[in-house]
């Protein structure tokens, strides 16, 4: 699925970033570059990966100067190689220089997340298990980072605390202190939650996974289980609920976890620790 990266949330993020980087004007450029000098910049890959955020880059350039022409050569989701030119931007050189850094900062970060996601997807080739992110995102950029996960082949978990029920350890402990069993907690959530939301429960034992499934949980999060426990949970739950593995998942162990039969794995590193993908802008005059 390709969600168009547009709308007021994106506008606000882009404008804030431009203001942050340009401040009260690109003094160097204003002093040294003639106002009417025309040129063309090429966005050039300095590493291999999966592209994400090319429309954001375009937004940045056009926000700085609506008269620039930005041509997309590679779309989001494209597998790009070092040396590929992914877009051209033509027009006033001083505008291109003002927008460059902000555009690249978005593009490198989002492509970093898309690339890391795609590597997890590749690690699971041939399996049904899907990959999703967590809420461990960069403050202010969650919307964009979740988009990058989709571009890389992942699916999105809930966006924020208001659009999903995820009963975690702390909720269970507090409820048990009030005398509620796991089953009762799930039923209470079912009763009181909006009918449009699924109920997800975090468990640490196979026994609790089974109880949760029987109580009607839609999704069960298996927290830091061993391969053996996950296999048992898959077998015992028997398709009555979706199973999500979480905790300590790396590119190295992802496939082995997926092979236990869980439906999806959630990986915090997709958003909190993906290294940037190196991209640069090369300028030429004509």
Q: What is the DSSP string of 58-102?
A: HHHHHHH-TT-EEEESS-TT-EE-TT-EEEEEEEEHHHHHHHHHH
The token pair at 186 is 């799930």
Is residue 136 annotated as a catalytic residue, yes or no? yes
CB of 199 to a second copy, least distance (A): 9
DSSP, collapsed to helix, strand or coil, labels residue 186 as helix
> CB-wise, 169 or 228, nearer to a second copy?
169
Residues 73-92 contacting a second copy, CB under 8 A? none
Is residue 82 annotated as a catalytic residue, yes or no? no
Cα 184 to Cα 143, 171, 180, 234: the distances in Å are 34, 12, 6, 23
> CB-wise, 2 or 71, nearer to a second copy?
2
Stretch that binds a second copy, among 28-36, 73-81, 231-239, 253-261 (CB under 8 A): 28-36
Residues 120-179 contacting a second copy, CB under 8 A? 130, 132, 135-143, 146, 155-168, 170-171, 173-175, 177-178
Cα 178 to Cα 71, 174, 272: the distances in Å are 60, 7, 35
Contact (Cβ atoms closer than 8 angstroms) between residue 60 and residue 106: yes
Is residue 223 annotated as a catalytic residue, yes or no? yes
In the Cβ-directed half-sphere of 116, how many Cα atoms lie within 13 Å? 27
7 binds a second copy (CB under 8 A): yes
Is residue 101 annotated as a catalytic residue, yes or no? yes
Nearest 5°: the CA angle 18, 13, 115 is: 100
How many residues are present in the chain? 286
CB of 229 to a second copy, least distance (A): 21
Residues 39-68 contacting a second copy, CB under 8 A? 39, 64
> Which residue in the set 17, 52, 151, 225 belongs to the binding site for a second copy (CB under 8 A)?
17
> Which residue in the set 124, 189, 213, 245 belongs to the binding site for a second copy (CB under 8 A)?
189
If binding means CB under 8 A, how many residues of this protein chain bind a second copy?
A: 100
Residues 212-231 contacting a second copy, CB under 8 A? 219
- Which is catalytic among the residues 75, 135, 136, 231? 136
> CB-wise, 74 or 101, nearer to a second copy?
101
CA–CA dist 100, 93 (Å, integer): 10
């Amino acid at each position: 699925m390709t969600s168009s990266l547009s709308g007021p949330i994106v506008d606000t993020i882009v404008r804030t970033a431009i203001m942050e980087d340009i401040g009260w004007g690109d003094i160097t450029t204003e002093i040294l570059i003639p106002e009417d000098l025309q040129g063309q910049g090429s966005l050039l890959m300095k590493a291999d990966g999966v592209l994400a955020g090319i429309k954001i880059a375009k937004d940045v350039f056009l926000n700085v100067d609506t008269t620039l022409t930005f041509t997309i050569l590679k779309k989001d989701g494209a597998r790009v190689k070092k040396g590929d030119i992914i877009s051209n931007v033509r027009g006033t050189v001083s505008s291109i220089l003002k927008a460059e850094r902000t555009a690249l900062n978005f593009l490198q970060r989002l492509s970093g997340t898309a690339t890391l996601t795609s590597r997890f997807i590749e690690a699971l080739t041939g399996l049904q298990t899907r990959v999703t992110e967590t809420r461990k995102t960069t403050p202010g950029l969650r919307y964009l980072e979740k988009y990058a996960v989709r571009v890389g082949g992942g699916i999105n978990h809930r966006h924020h605390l208001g659009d999903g029920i995820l009963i975690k350890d702390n909720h269970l402990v507090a409820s048990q202190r009030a005398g509620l069993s796991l089953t009762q907690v799930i039923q209470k959530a079912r009763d009181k939650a909006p009918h449009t939301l699924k109920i997800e429960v975090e468990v640490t034992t196979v026994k609790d996974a089974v109880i949760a499934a029987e109580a009607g949980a839609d999704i069960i999060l298996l927290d830091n289980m061993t391969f053996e426990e996950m296999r048992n949970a898959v077998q015992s739950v028997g398709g009555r609920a979706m199973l999500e593995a979480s905790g300590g998942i790396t590119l190295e162990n992802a496939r082995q976890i997926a092979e236990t039969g869980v439906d999806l794995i959630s990986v915090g590193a997709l958003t909190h620790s993906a290294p940037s993908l190196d991209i640069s802008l090369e300028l030429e005059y004509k």
